[in-house]
Structures are given as C-alpha cells and as structure tokens.
C-alpha cells in the first residue's frame, strides 16, 4: 500500500480485503498499484517508506516524496557562471538623489547595507563624493555554485603572475652572468703565468682560456644547491629561525615608513634608522651585512672558483670547499710574488725607486725641528713664530689712510666695533688719527656728564615726590624740645578727653563736638601728653597701688 493516509479509517471487511489485495500483489497474482503518473509501485516497499507524511500527502498513492523534485533535476546551472562582483554601473551622480544611501549616495542599497566607511557627514548632507551605483544581477545559482570558493576566478590572472616571476628570474640570471663576464681577466690570466713563473713548467691543471669560451654549461655549477636554503653565488645561508635573545628588526624603529620589513623571510634590507652611521648602528640592514665579516672573502672565493672552472680547472666549492680554499690561497700568494717581481724588474730597468719612498708618519703629522717657547700670556719668548694660515679672503687691507683693520677696536659703552687707529665706528670712513680719538673721548665724556646730571636730577625729583610730609617725618623722633605752656595745655586737654570717655555711659556723646572725629594736626606736645597719660594710667602697674597697712 503506497499511501495509508489516503484510505482513512476502514471497516473490518474493507481492511480484510485490503490485506488480501496486498498479499496477492506481493505474490504476483494481482497487478501492482500505479501512482498518479502511471508508474508501478513495488508492493514489497515497507509502509514507513511508501506512506507519505502529512505535510506532503497528496491523497493519491505516490512515491514522489521519496524522489528529488523534478525541477531540481531538470535545472542545469553553469558552474562557471558568476555575477560581476564590485563593478559599478557607469559614472557617479553629481548630486544626491532621493531614496539613495545617506552615507555614500548610491541608489542600489540603503545606509544599513552600505559597505563604505561611515562618513562624518553623509552624502545626503554634503552632496559630495557620491559613489556610483553597483551592478545588481539576478543570479540564480545552485547549492554547489553558491558555495564554490573558486567561482568567478580567472586562471589567466595567475598565469600573468607566473610570467612576471619568470621574467624577474631571467633578468636576475642575466645580471649574474654579466657580473661574472665583467670581472677582470687579470687574475685568471695570472694563474697560467704564475704556473710558469713558479714551476717553470706548464701546469696541467690549468688549461687554455680559449677552449672553454663556447662552453654552454659554464654556469651549470652556479645553480642553487638542492635542499639548501642558500645562494651559491655568495654562499650566504638564510637563517629561518632567529635567536630569541636578539631584538626583532621591526622593533628597532617603530616608524612604519622607516624601512620595509618582510615578515615571511624576517628580512629588512634597508637600515631602520638612517640617522645613525652603519658602523655605529646595532643593525644597519641586511644589505650592509652582506659586505661585512667573511662575506666579502666568501664572495671572492666563489668568483675565483667560477673563473677557474671557466678555464677548465677542477675547482668546485660544493664538492671540495677545502681544496678550493687552498687553491685560492696559493693563487693569491703567487700573484703577490709575481707582482713584486714585476715591480722589481720595472725599477731595475727604469729606476725611480726614491720617488716611491714615503716620509715617516711622524713627519706627515706636521712635526718639525723648530723650537719655540711661550710665556704665560702666550707671547713668544724664544724661537720663531709659526706662519699663520691665510684664508682665501683679503687680509690686512688698509683703506682710507687707516693703520688698523675694521673690527680692531670695540666701543664697550655703545657696544659697537670700529677702527683702533681713530676710534671710528663707521666702516670705510676716512681715518682722522689721534685727533679722532681725542674727539671721540671728549664727546663720550661730555655725553657721560650730561647723562649723569640728568640721572641725578631725575633721582632728586623722584625723591621729592615720594618724600613724606614734615608732620609725619619728625613727629616723635629724635630729640624734641617741648613748649611747657603748650605741654601743660595738652595735658589738661588729654585728661578732660579721658574723663569724657569715662562718663560716656552717663552723658553719652553730648559733650563731643560735631566735627570731633575729623583729622586735625597733632603737635609734639599733644603726642607727649597722650604718652604720659597712657603710661601713668594703664601701663604702670604701681600707679593705683595703695598700702592697706599704713
């Protein structure tokens, strides 16, 4: 039974007849059940497979719920088809359009879906830098097409990268070959010559240079060794792991514009801090290290091996580096011997050996036989003074009858330079001699007297303005002569004033005059009367003492 849900609830008789029909179909005595499309349904399929779920049940016997949808099977999508990613549809608009993105101004998306950097003021408000609209395509891809990571990739792009690196490698190889060809052939030619000079016989290890000019594999040994991370031209190995005690190169200068650092190879070609001399810097760049230490000697040894191999000699640093070092050392020694022998033969033939001798180092530093003694003030007491070094400018040039140069005298009062012969502070003026000095001194003395007189008058005037009055200047100070009549009158007035202050609670301020609080002149007698009354009445502790026993 293909679909039991389509039968519904059956009676006992209908259920028995359905069972008998299923048994006959399985036995092959009854025809198989057909679905809606006329296809036979296998009666041996279990019910849990043939019965459709409630959300896919069509009410008719069918096995469509177990098959893939026909539209998916019929759909054939080109896996190489892809949409234009990141392309723009024509030029950008010149002003903001209604309904466009408020951030960039494109019509194909809204502000929430904008992929540009959020602007401080969007294109809606500024109307500037409006982005062009994107190309929106109706792309219908299958499951595999949507999840293909290489979909839309053009393999020809990688081919261009391969070709670019191939061209770079070819250019590098040509540069290496040109460097080898440009090496002077003097050293290689001297090998044969030294073999004749040293042994007197032809060395079989060194062949003719003409035999190997057409050798096509003269650079075969220059190829990089397999399995080694090194360059056979310079024999410099690349350290893949740095020592942890070393400071990382990118930490020497944190400025990102200082020098390029390659994190993959941990290399920094240029110096990170160019203000420091390479000799004094902690790290001066990988290019500087290539020309320091034994790197230069190793490069010379490699060049010697290449040149010797070109001439047919069995010198290979890869196969036998020790023999290569020995050959190079012997070649260098024989070259020096030959050079000295050639030099001796030339001197014997042409002469001139005396011109090749140099003066001792002590004499080259400026030491002479001249003896000079100086005093404490720097004056020469014995010997000749050394000749002064003269500059390219004219010196000791006397113009307009002057006997001294300009700048030989300094006027400390006016802080000006001048001539010592006439004390003139005007450059290129005519010299007046002693008369000019006297006139300058006279004018300076008279000017100083005038300035001193004006300063004294100004000081006296300022003191008079700031001086206090005679009343407050001498009041109560120094030796004072009192008038006895005025002093007695002042004492009487002081006692009366103190009595009025004592009766203030009784009489109040009735005895005080209207203008009694106004400032009046105080004489020496008034001050003395106030002092005597205060001393007698308040400050003397024995003034009011009375002996009760008497």
3-state secondary structure of 40: strand
Tell me the pairing of strands 40-41 and 373-374. Answer: unpaired
Count the Cβ atoms, other than its own, within 10 Å of residue 288: 15
* Average pLDDT, rounded, for the chain: 77
pLDDT of residue 206: 45
pLDDT in tens, 389-435: 777 777 778 888 888 888 888 888 778 898 889 888 888 888 888 88
3-state secondary structure of 508: coil
Length of the chain: 550
pLDDT of residue 240: 54
Q: How far is CA 543 from CA 488, 534, 535, 546, in A?
A: 20, 11, 9, 9
DSSP 8-state secondary structure symbol assigned to residue 267: B
pLDDT in tens, 193-210: 555 555 544 444 444 444
Which residues neighbour 498 within 8 Å (Cβ) at sequence distance 6 or greater?
A: 533, 537
Beta bridge partners of 33: 41
Separation of alpha carbons 436 and 409, rounded Å: 14
pLDDT in tens, 307-363: 988 888 888 888 888 888 999 999 999 999 999 999 999 999 998 888 888 777 766
Separation of alpha carbons 323 and 331, rounded Å: 12
pLDDT of residue 85: 72
Residue carrying structure tokens 């650079």: 219
């Amino acid at each position: 039974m293909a679909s039991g849900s389509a039968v519904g609830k059956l009676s006992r008789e209908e259920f028995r007849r359905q069972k008998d029909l299923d048994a006959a179909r399985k036995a092959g005595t009854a025809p198989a059940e057909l679905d809606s499309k006329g296809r036979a349904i296998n009666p041996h399929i279990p019910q849990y497979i043939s019965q459709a779920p409630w959300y896919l049940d069509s009410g008719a016997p069918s096995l469509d719920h177990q098959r893939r949808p026909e539209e998916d099977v019929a759909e054939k999508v080109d896996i190489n088809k892809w949409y234009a990613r990141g392309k723009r549809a024509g030029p950008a608009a010149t002003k903001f359009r209604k309904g466009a993105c408020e951030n960039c101004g494109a019509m194909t998306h809204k502000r929430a879906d904008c992929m540009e950097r959020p602007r401080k003021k969007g294109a809606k408000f500024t109307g500037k830098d409006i982005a062009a609209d994107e190309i929106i395509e109706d792309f219908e891809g299958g499951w595999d097409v949507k999840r293909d990571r290489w979909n839309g990739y053009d393999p020809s792009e990688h081919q261009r990268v391969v070709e670019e690196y191939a061209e770079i490698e070819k250019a590098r190889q040509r540069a290496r070959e040109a460097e080898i060809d440009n090496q002077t052939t003097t050293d290689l030619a001297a090998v044969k010559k030294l073999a004749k000079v040293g042994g007197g016989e032809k060395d079989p290890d060194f062949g003719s240079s003409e035999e190997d000019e057409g050798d096509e594999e003269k650079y075969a040994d220059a190829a990089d060794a397999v399995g080694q991370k090194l360059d056979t031209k310079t024999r410099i190995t690349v350290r893949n792991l740095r020592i942890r005690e070393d400071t990382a190169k990118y930490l020497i200068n944190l400025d990102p514009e200082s020098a390029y650092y390659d994190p993959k190879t941990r290399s920094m070609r240029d110096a990170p801090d160019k203000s420091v001399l390479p000799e004094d810097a902690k790290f001066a760049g990988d290019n500087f290290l290539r020309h320091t230490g034994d790197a230069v000697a190793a490069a010379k040894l490699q060049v010697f091996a290449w040149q010797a191999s070109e001439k047919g000699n069995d010198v290979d640093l890869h196969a036998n580096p020790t023999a290569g070092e020995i050959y190079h050392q012997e070649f260098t020694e024989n070259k020096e011997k030959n050079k000295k022998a050639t030099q001796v033969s030339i001197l014997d033939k042409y002469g001139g050996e005396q011109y090749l001798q140099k003066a001792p180092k002590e004499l080259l530093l400026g030491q002479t036989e001249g003896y000079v003694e100086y005093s404490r003030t720097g004056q020469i007491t014995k010997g000749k003074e050394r000749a002064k070094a003269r500059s390219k400018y004219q010196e000791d040039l006397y113009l307009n009858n002057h006997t001294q140069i300009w700048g030989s005298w300094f006027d400390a009062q006016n802080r000006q330079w001048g001539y010592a012969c006439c004390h003139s502070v005007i450059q290129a003026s005519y010299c007046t001699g002693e008369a000019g000095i006297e006139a300058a001194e006279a004018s300076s003395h008279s000017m100083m007297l005038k300035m001193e007189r004006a300063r004294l008058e100004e000081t006296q005037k300022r003191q008079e303005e700031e001086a206090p009055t005679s009343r407050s200047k001498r009041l109560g100070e120094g030796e004072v002569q009192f008038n006895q009549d005025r002093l007695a009158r002042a004492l009487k007035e002081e006692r009366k004033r103190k009595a009025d202050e004592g009766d203030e609670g009784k009489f109040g301020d009735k005895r005080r005059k209207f203008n009694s609080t106004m400032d009046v002149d105080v004489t020496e007698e008034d001050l003395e009367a106030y002092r005597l009354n205060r001393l007698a009445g308040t400050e003397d502790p024995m003034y009011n003492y009375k002996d009760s026993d008497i």
